[in-house]
Amino acid sequence: MPKVDVSNALPFLPASWLASRESALNEAHARLQENRGPGSDFHGWVRLPENYDREEYARIKTAARRIQSDSEALVVIGIGGSYLGARAVIELLQSPNYNLKKKDTPDIFFAGNGLSTDALLETIELVKDRDFSVNVISKSGTTTEPAVAFRIFKNLLEEKYGKEGAKSRIYATTDAHKGALKGLADTEGYEEFVVPDNVGGRYSVLTAVGLLPIAVAGVDIDALMAGAHDAMSELAQPGAQNAAWQYAAARNGLYEDGKKIELLACYEPSFRFFAEWWKQLYGESEGKENRGIFPASVEFTADLHSMGQYIQEGERHLFETVVRFAACGGEITIPDDPQNVDGLNFLTGKPLSFVAEQAFRGVTLAHMDGGVPNLTVTVDSRDARSVGALIYFFEYACGVSGYLLEVNPFDQPGVEAYKKNMFALLGKPGFEERKAELEKRL
């Protein structure tokens, strides 16, 4: 289970930062545990680690094995909550260089997460002469970016394998009952997986949305779910020892003190997409009604040489949350240089992790001295069980945080606004009035 350390934020928080929020925390916790409060229709993720469809879970594993045996590449089509979780876990647990590694699992390419012609052309080029399958993921089934990309890859598969052959290489993850993708998958006979009605996109990584691509990449999804289950059991206990309460209360206290931006920092480059997933989770859950911490991310130590100046001396509206992995997978020892030309012999024989540890300690103190409170979330190691627990921890803390902020953490009306404008401007039937109104303004 991740551990939260608030000691480096305490100088910036009133002594009562946790006690003064106790009743609000209790209420937020009770809403999640008792399935009530704004957005409670989307509380399905709270018990997901124990309450999921076992039959579908077994089919996910079977489909992953089939893709591993008949495909050199899997194209995962989706955007937002239908994209970021899978990429986050694959990069964190396998590698950002996963496709370059020697392995017996397929390469994974992500498409439909933007509208770049060049990016799509490149992905087509990378897969077209190889055996590949497609996992198209869209809860609504109507999001433009993945729908357009899916048309293109569906055509590519049909040209390559014929209609029947293509059918057996397309896996559709969508709503159980409605939507254009659901209709298409039923008509064409694709293997289907479900985004549960009561789980929103940004909370869906532990459903088929994330689990199928993650399993294809060779990650142990049993361990991932077990880790989430560990966290679910522990975080169901109310009280000051609850790590999600601590994180939610500390960030809420810092926000009230004018710290409007949270920088999620990590010293592991493989964490980059986990931070993207976290940004969506917190940004979509809290950024509404003209309120909410702006979630941003930095990669240390690289960004200390770019954003470091601003963090140290720019406007004082920031706090940092540093995610640390207690153990590394291996070790590198700094070699000796008899000439000592670079003057680094004082480090000879020291492990690189020792240097990283001193960097962490030095950065924390410097940033605190510069007026940037620091929270630390420590995770045992970069393995599937710990990462499953980390996912659930951030989800639970996000639900608690949103309720502390007195918003509905489970809707995203702002995302819908842009989607509607795009439909209208593209001339989608049913949006004629909006189109006319928007074009007058352009």
Residues known to be catalytic: 284, 419
CB of 44 to ligand PA5, least distance (A): 14
Among 29, 87, 139, 169, binds ligand PA5 (CB under 6 A): 139
How many chain residues interact with ligand PA5 (CB under 6 A)?
Answer: 15
CB of 171 to ligand PA5, least distance (A): 15
Binding mask 244-283 for ligand PA5 (x = CB under 6 A): ----------------------------------------
Closest of 410, 432, 437 to residue 46, by C-alpha? 410
Query: By the 8 A CB rule, do 380 and 326 touch?
Result: yes
| Neighbour count for residue 128 (Cβ, 10 Å) | 14
Q: Distance (Å, rounded) from C-alpha 323 to C-alpha 70?
A: 37
DSSP string across 355-373 = HHHHHHHHHHHHHHHTT--
> Smaller CB distance to ligand PA5: residue 321 or 412?
412
Q: Which residues pair with residue 5 across a beta bridge?
A: 376
24's tokens: 């609000």
Q: Distance (Å, rounded) from C-alpha 283 to C-alpha 295?
A: 6
Among 91, 107, 191, 284, binds ligand PA5 (CB under 6 A): 284
- Encode 2-20: b = buried (16+ Cβ within 10 Å), e = exposed: bebbbebbeebbeeebbee
For position 202 contacting ligand PA5 by CB under 6 A, the verdict is yes
Binding mask 3-42 for ligand PA5 (x = CB under 6 A): ----------------------------------------
CB of 219 to ligand PA5, least distance (A): 21
Among 37, 44, 80, 210, binds ligand PA5 (CB under 6 A): 80
Q: Distance (Å, rounded) from C-alpha 98 to C-alpha 82?
A: 20
Half-sphere exposure of 337 (CA within 13 A, CB side): 10
200's tokens: 């929103």
Among 146, 210, 253, 308, binds ligand PA5 (CB under 6 A): 146
Among 13, 46, 79, 206, binds ligand PA5 (CB under 6 A): 79
Three-state DSSP class for residue 219: coil
Among 2, 37, 85, 201, binds ligand PA5 (CB under 6 A): 201
> Smaller CB distance to ligand PA5: residue 82 or 123?
82
Distances in Å between the Cα of 117 and the Cα atoms of 121, 137, 427 are 6, 20, 20
Helix segments in 170-239, DSSP class H: 180-188, 208-216, 221-235
CB of 201 to ligand PA5, least distance (A): 2
CB of 236 to ligand PA5, least distance (A): 24
Name which of residues 405 to 424 contact ligand PA5 (CB under 6 A). Answer: 412, 415
Residues that bind ligand PA5 (CB under 6 A): 79-82, 138-140, 143, 146, 200-202, 284, 412, 415
